[in-house]
Amino acid sequence: MKVLVLGGSGHIGRRLLEILAATAAAPWQRPTGASRGPVKNGPRGVDWLQLDTCDEAALASALRGFDAVVNCVAGNARSIAAGTQVLAKAALKADCPRIIHLSTMSVYGPVEGTVHEEAPLNPGLGWYGRAKCEAERHVRQFVLQGGEAVVLRPGCVFGPGSELWVGRIGRWLRAGRLGDLGAGGDGWSNLVHVDDVCQAIIAALGLTVISGELPVFNLSAPDSPRWNAYFIDLALALQATPIRRISQRQLQLDTRLAGPPLKLAQMALKRARWSRPGLPDPMPPGLPALWAQQIHLYSGKASQKLGLAWTPYTAGLQSSAAWFGVPAAGAASAPASTSASPGNTACTP
């Protein structure tokens, strides 16, 4: 099977290419990754294309000869929604029969309780949720026009390389901006290890799909903890102690007052292509709602149909801490904030 991974330089895409390249034997051919910009220090054993995924003609040309395409594209609303529409049209033109589409738990909106894949889509969580809902509609249209597709809806993807759910959280913990949130952190984290997402993609590539049907799978580790437990466990693993109790007032000041100017500064530096490692990470205003949301993704269908063996939470925590870097006593080093795209990272308020 010949596979093209769009968004191959992002968190999930890069790890998927590494795994595919490491198992480059039947039925897998040498994998190909695609990225908008040039890729430096890409995984070994991978071919690369520089490609604008919103350019239908270029994408259709690139897709010819591939058996499947994995859509790991992240970025802004246009890249996610319009890009998926372009992908669906290009795949039909190129006779690329299968799309594996990475969606997100954000498509369920602010709903609470145990959520199965049959739950209705709700674009009520801002631009990201709206874009992902629209993207899923384009994938469904692709299936109605004769294509095959599988949709994966991960929770919060952590593990090595996760800037959103390990990198910035670790820096907030180190800076005392995050800790025990009390009732504000009692929501379920719905964490899923990046390797488990990749294994789900690989299983979906080989899944038997009935014509006209669109299989959808939630991805969340069954032993995923509540947010407070994760913050405390990660802080201990990173030696970011003592762990502070963060009041709702402090959280609101950080997200509503400090967050917007920090985000503007981050965007300005990105446009200027100037790296500023010391700039604090902005805390998006939507995060407190996520940390309190009592949504629990049911992932039994993925366990049964895709045969997933989930990475234990403790193992995922250890690999995350090792990637972040645990300093020697008295040191304060940590990965610098990056403006590079983290790839598709599931829920991104």
Q: Which helix (H) or strand (E) holds 261?
A: helix 259-271
Predicted confidence at residue 331, as pLDDT, reads: 37
Q: Taking a C-beta distance cutoff of 8 angstroms, is the pair 149, 143 a contact?
A: yes
Instruction: Say what the pTM is.
Output: 0.90
Q: What is the pLDDT of residues 70-126, one digit of tens each?
A: 999 988 899 999 999 999 999 999 999 999 999 999 999 999 999 999 999 999 989
Position 277 confidence tier, pLDDT thresholds 50, 70, 90:
low
The pair phi, psi for residue 207, each rounded to 5°, is -70, 135
Q: What is the pLDDT of residues 160-173, one digit of tens each?
A: 999 999 999 999 99
Q: Taking a C-beta distance cutoff of 8 angstroms, is the pair 229, 185 a contact?
A: no
Q: Taking all residues of the chain, what is their mean pLDDT, rounded to a whole number?
A: 90
Predicted confidence at residue 263, as pLDDT, reads: 80
Q: Is CATH 3.40.50.720 the right assignment for the domain spanning 3-158+193-219? A: yes
Strand ranges (E), 286-347: 295-297
pLDDT exceeds 50 at position 66:
yes
Sketch the domain layout of the chain as residue ranges. Answer: 3-158+193-219, 163-189+223-294+311-324
Q: What is the pLDDT of residues 185-207, one digit of tens each?
A: 999 999 999 999 999 999 999 99
Query: CA 184 to CA 321: how far, in whole Å?
Result: 24
Predicted confidence at residue 176, as pLDDT, reads: 95
- Residue 302 neighbours by CB under 8 Å, 6+ apart: 200, 217, 218, 219, 308
Distances (CA, A) of 9 to 24, 41, 269: 19, 10, 21
Position 275 confidence tier, pLDDT thresholds 50, 70, 90:
low
Query: CA 218 to CA 99: how far, in whole Å?
Result: 17
Q: Which two tokens stand for residue 214?
A: 């669109």
Q: Which amino acid is at 226?
A: R
